[in-house]
Amino acid sequence: MSRKSPLITVMAAAADKAARSLLRDFNEVENLQVSRKGTNDFVTAADLRAEQVLKDELSRARPGFGFLTEESKPVPAKDGQNRWIIDPLDGTLNFIHSVPQFCISIGVETDGELTAGIVFDPLRDELFWAERGEGAWVNQRRLRCSKRERLADCLIAHGRARSEEPGDQERLLAQMGYVMRHTRDLRRMGSAALDLCYVGAGRYDGFWEEGLKPWDIAAGIIIAQEAGVYITDTSGGPVSVKTGSVLAGNPNIHSQLHKALAGR
């Protein structure tokens, strides 16, 4: 059933309101692009504005929930159970450069387990949403991951969350080189939250990235999992928002991708 629960409805409404603020600011960034002044400070302010809207809306709707957000200090749960894990702007570098690929990500953790998530792409008006055991959706359409079986047929996404040690860089380049040679192609679009949703939607067949933060991936993980995607960390162990390491793939290719990356 594609009927949204009260919880998902609350999350979608908050994201919608924050998105209006982000879209106004995105238009402004497009104008600033032609000026020589940096846009970083402006985008930081946009990020903070969106986060404040989300916190106001969500705390009004669910006063007992705690918060873990990108831009401010964690707030413990008054109900001792639930917290929001929020990225008000995932794809910040794209936003700064006025590349139209970014989103708002809101996950819910209950007793330490991911239980719900939404990822909203305001430019395409795509709302990805999922609750544990209830399936994943984009707007009113059910999400299902792809069924491709051969790595050679797959489109694989990748991101690099932060600059790494020189040795890590070499490994990363070797992994990217392998994927570029042995799959249909590699994509690096710059929003881990959307990348995970796209694997859920069958647009990508797999995705890997390390060095991420809980708010980059909390919502994307549950959405992808509910769409049938198999997710581990990059060493093949259980995925967790804490390690920030993600290897996602349709169940046919996940282990092939893991083997390919682990060998580099």
Residue of 216, 230, 244, 254 that binds Ca ion (CB under 5 A) = 216
Alpha carbons within 13 angstroms on the beta-carbon side of residue 117 total 37
The reply on whether position 90 binds Ca ion by CB under 5 A is yes
Work out how close the CB of 141 gets to Ca ion at its nearest, in angstroms, rounded to a whole number. 25
The reply on whether position 131 binds Ca ion by CB under 5 A is no
Work out how close the CB of 259 gets to Ca ion at its nearest, in angstroms, rounded to a whole number. 28
Q: What secondary structure letter does DSSP report for 201? A: T
Choosing among ligand 2AM, Ca ion, none, which partner's interface includes residue 117 (Cβ < 5 to 8 Å by kind)?
none
Which part of the chain contacts Ca ion (CB under 5 A), choosing from 4-12, 83-91, 93-101, 145-153?
A: 83-91
State how far the Cα of 73 lies from the Cα of 76, in Å rounded to an integer: 10
State how far the Cα of 57 lies from the Cα of 88, in Å rounded to an integer: 13
The reply on whether position 195 binds Ca ion by CB under 5 A is no
Torsion of CA 73, 10, 91, 38, to 10 degrees: -70
Whose Cβ is closer to Ca ion: residue 90's or residue 131's? Answer: 90
Work out how close the CB of 150 gets to ligand 2AM at its nearest, in angstroms, rounded to a whole number. 26
Binding site for ligand 2AM (CB under 6 A): 87, 90-92, 159-162, 190-192, 209, 211-213, 216
HEC string for 109-142: EECCEEEEEEEEECCCCEEEEEECCCCEEECCEE
Work out how close the CB of 242 gets to ligand 2AM at its nearest, in angstroms, rounded to a whole number. 13
Give the residue among 90, 159, 158 at the shortest CA–CA distance from 123: 90
Whose Cβ is closer to ligand 2AM: residue 107's or residue 148's? Answer: 107
The answer for residues whose C-beta is within 8 angstroms of residue 114's C-beta and 6 or more apart is: 107, 108, 132, 218, 221, 222, 241
Give the residue among 197, 166, 224 at the shortest CA–CA distance from 91: 197
Q: Tell me, by CB under 5 A, how many residues bind Ca ion.
A: 3
State how far the Cα of 249 lies from the Cα of 71, in Å rounded to an integer: 30
Which part of the chain contacts Ca ion (CB under 5 A), choosing from 17-25, 54-62, 151-159, 211-219?
A: 211-219
The reply on whether position 109 binds Ca ion by CB under 5 A is no
How many residues in the chain? 264
Choosing among Ca ion, ligand 2AM, none, which partner's interface includes residue 191 (Cβ < 5 to 8 Å by kind)?
ligand 2AM
Work out how close the CB of 94 gets to ligand 2AM at its nearest, in angstroms, rounded to a whole number. 7
Choosing among ligand 2AM, Ca ion, none, which partner's interface includes residue 211 (Cβ < 5 to 8 Å by kind)?
ligand 2AM
Whose Cβ is closer to ligand 2AM: residue 58's or residue 96's? Answer: 96
